Structure 1
Amino acid sequence: MFTGIIEDIGVVTNLKEEQDNLHITVKSTLTNELKIDQSVAHNGVCLTVVHINNDEYTVTAIKETLDKTNLKSLKVKDRVNLERAMRLGDRLDGHIVQGHVDQTAVCTGIDQENGSWVFTFKYDSKLNNITIEKGSVTVNGTSLTVVNSKKDSFSVAIIPYTYEHTNFNTFKVGTEVNLEFDVLGKYVSRLLELKNL
């Protein structure tokens, strides 16, 4: 379980394919606090630490994960948003995030406002995921509030702190991102779907 509050931006230092798996090595200031078998969210994807070496650690993404996320597009030197699992009893500063990406989206617009940025994302609505105005959504692991919610797109407003301390500052129009929709909204959507069967 995560909160969507990014703790560090890691840098990919090595990528090694093994059969259908991808071993991802990341350099991070969090490494000295990690241990083998611990969960860490990478751009919102919950992965298990399998190796630690000085200030670098390695996680493994399986085919299922690669097929549904933007991790398949990672390159050495890419920056990834990192968050360790939430401690029971901590404040929930973002929202309830599972670290299970629902689908990807593409950045379709970046508008610089007076002191902030508005990013717009388009996603495949056939997968039945939804956003609601002022609801929560996770973009690359970052907990955000939805503005301008539509059937297949939404926008988020980014303050300077978030822009500087996440990989949002690397986004361009066309950048693929990971989305995790609000868990409560997913349950409500599923219940309504079952009711209509």
Structure 2
Amino acid sequence: MMASKTLLTIVNNANFYPKHRHDSHADFIKDLCDAFGKSSSVSNGQALTTYARQIATPARGKQANYSGWAKLDDAHIISIMLRRPVVIVRPIADSDFLIANGIPQWNDQSEPQTLNIYFPDGELMLKKRDIDHANLCHFTVFRRGKRNTRVERIVANPIVLWYNGVNHFQCIYFEPIQPHHRQGIELIGSGTIEVPPNFIS
């Protein structure tokens, strides 16, 4: 819901764009669409307004009894707007298997897990989890680029969420608390839209 409200505010306010990075609101919206298009349904021709209204609908899953209050695409918009990586830790098994065999908790690695890593520039990378809990706040991920080159990206101070694969998201915190780790998480749940002071300067 918060992501939807924030996105609608951005789309509907012509003064709401980072002037030090974009020449106009239209230029910013185009870049935003391009970023969303890499991993969200905006790439299927939906306008940002339509997409914002879609993600405002709670429990919009296919299974009526196990619909979650958020979807993985919502992490993408959070990452882009907060300018921080979002890492979703989730089981590899599909929802039918998990429902039949028991839904795991975030610290239960008896079932293999994967990481969905959303970057503020719109890139989505996937990684089988081979990282212990303490190091989820700072790690390196790789992918193959053009001409089979190795592309390395560092994930630093991300917002880390656990998704149980069926119907539940929760924030994962670290001990000791990482610098600025809660910043952004609190904004998501606050119900208010706060514009960073330097965003529209």
The answer to whether the superposition gives a TM-score over 0.5 is no
Which structure shows the bigger proportion of residues in strand conformation?
A: 1
- Of the two, which has the highest radius of gyration? 2
Which structure shows the bigger proportion of residues in helix conformation?
A: 2
TM-score norm. by structure 2 comes to: 0.28
TM-score norm. by structure 1 comes to: 0.28
